[in-house]
A and B are shown apart, each in its own frame.
Chain A
Amino acid sequence: MATTVLNSTESPSYPEPTPIVLTKLLDQNEKWAEAHSELFPMGPQTPKVLWFGCADSRVPESVITDSIPGVIFTQRNIANQFHPEDDSAVSVLAYAVEHVKVEHIIVVGHTDCGGVKASADTAATQSPPFSRATALERWLATLTEFAWSVGPGSDITELVEANVRLQVVNVLSSEVLEHEWKLRDVHVHGWVYDLATGKLRDLGISAGRKGPVQY
């Protein structure tokens, strides 16, 4: 009998029924595609917006803005971070701005963010230097350091907002935007999604190549 070595050309065969959640995902997708056949075949994407949001399952950008596919180019990661040394986020920004030519970048935080809470907890119970042993600790390191510098007693929502402001600054300081601003303006915004009401709130910190922008 062949040994069951998992490689990219073999299918595993587990004697288990297909998990219900997978069946549901595929069934619902089929029904959705049939109900929205007018969208297909889908041509090239022309979204005007890049969304840097949280991986949190409760904040699916296209559902909460009732947007059809093709509207929002999206990176979602833990606590909606934009780190200048992170090739993942920087490549998303580069592709969105230079190839797809989005006009707006929105950093979206949300209430009850687990990543923000984790940073706050670490800052409240430990002192710098904070552990960078795991990828998650390294990922949240700058946010944890920020939470520590602000001091204990910060409301989590205040920290969520401050986090959004920090990431907006990071995006505004990026080389990608510095280059693109020579050709055209691109605006960056900071929003917070409230899980209690489902509503998005603009923090009013928008900026472009000439500085703050008011709408």
Chain B
Amino acid sequence: MTSTFLPSPPSKILSDLLNRNEKWTEANSGLFLQETQSPKVLWIGCADSRVPESVITNFEPGMIFTHRNIANQFHADDDNAISVLIYAVENPKMRVDHIIVVGHTRCGGVEACCKAAQADDSPPANALQRWLAPLTEFARNNGLGGDLSALLEANVRMQVDNVLKSEVLEREWGIRDVHVHG
């Protein structure tokens, strides 16, 4: 086994998670009778560790179908997010009624877009830059490169728009209403 420099022994971080999981299952044994999930909400949020949807809303497992990515994006050409939307909205066992796009303050992805919008316009060089390109372009075109909180809110509005314009919702609205929130 290699000796790598890590601030804490490699196993402790993982064993902490597993130990806490075990204690949690013992304290919540009543939860494990449900067989299927029936969430009413799809949450599209940021991967940021500080925004775990079920903790901050104090909702039990089974309530919030969740997709998290950098800067809570919904792109029309992203099979990852669209497949989540399809499953949440169309699957007969799911049929969520509400989709919530949730941004947050101090979002590193939004900050990166602010910086990139103020720099020279150059083509994206990697996956992260490609991922943030639409938001960066929006920031540049709207002069929001220096205004983090404005871009943050505008980002949520943009992603809500993207969800509202999706083919998935267009189809589902032919059958029933689904609401999108920001």
A residues less than 8 Å from B79 (CB atoms) = 86, 135, 138-139
Q: Closest CB of chain B to A120's CB: distance in Å?
A: 15
Quick one: which of A21, A48, A87, A185 has the most chain B CB within 10 A? Answer: A87
A residues less than 8 Å from B51 (CB atoms) = 69
B55–A60 CB distance below 8 A: yes
Q: Give how many A residues have a beta carbon under 8 Å from the other chain's beta carbons.
A: 86
Q: How far is the CA of A40 from the CA of B20 in the complex (A)?
A: 23
B14–A189 CB distance below 8 A: yes
Q: How far is the CA of A198 from the CA of B108 in the complex (A)?
A: 32
Interface size class on chain B is 35 or more
A residues less than 8 Å from B21 (CB atoms) = 64-66, 198-200
B83–A66 CB distance below 8 A: no
Pick the contact of A65: B17, B58, B63, B80 (CB < 8 A): B17
| A151 interface residue per 8 A CB criterion | no
Q: How far is the CA of A167 from the CA of B1 in the complex (A)?
A: 23
B47–A96 CB distance below 8 A: yes
A58–B52 CB distance below 8 A: no
A residues less than 8 Å from B49 (CB atoms) = 45, 47, 69-74, 100
B residues less than 8 Å from A59 (CB atoms) = 61
B2–A185 CB distance below 8 A: yes
Q: How far is the CA of A62 from the CA of B160 in the complex (A)?
A: 25
Q: Closest CB of chain A to B142's CB: distance in Å?
A: 11
Q: List CB contacts (< 8 Å) of B34-71 with chain A.
A: 34-37, 39-41, 47-70
A residues less than 8 Å from B154 (CB atoms) = 8
A-B contact pairs, 23 of them (CB 8 A): A9-B157, A33-B56, A45-B48, A48-B13, A60-B54, A62-B54, A65-B18, A65-B20, A66-B23, A69-B55, A72-B49, A74-B47, A75-B68, A76-B67, A89-B80, A91-B127, A112-B36, A138-B79, A139-B79, A202-B18, A213-B10, A215-B14, A215-B15
Query: With contacts A62-B55, A66-B24, A199-B22 known, what are 15 further pairs, Cβ within 8 A?
Result: A6-B161, A8-B154, A21-B97, A25-B100, A44-B106, A49-B17, A65-B17, A81-B80, A92-B47, A94-B126, A94-B127, A185-B6, A187-B10, A208-B2, A209-B2
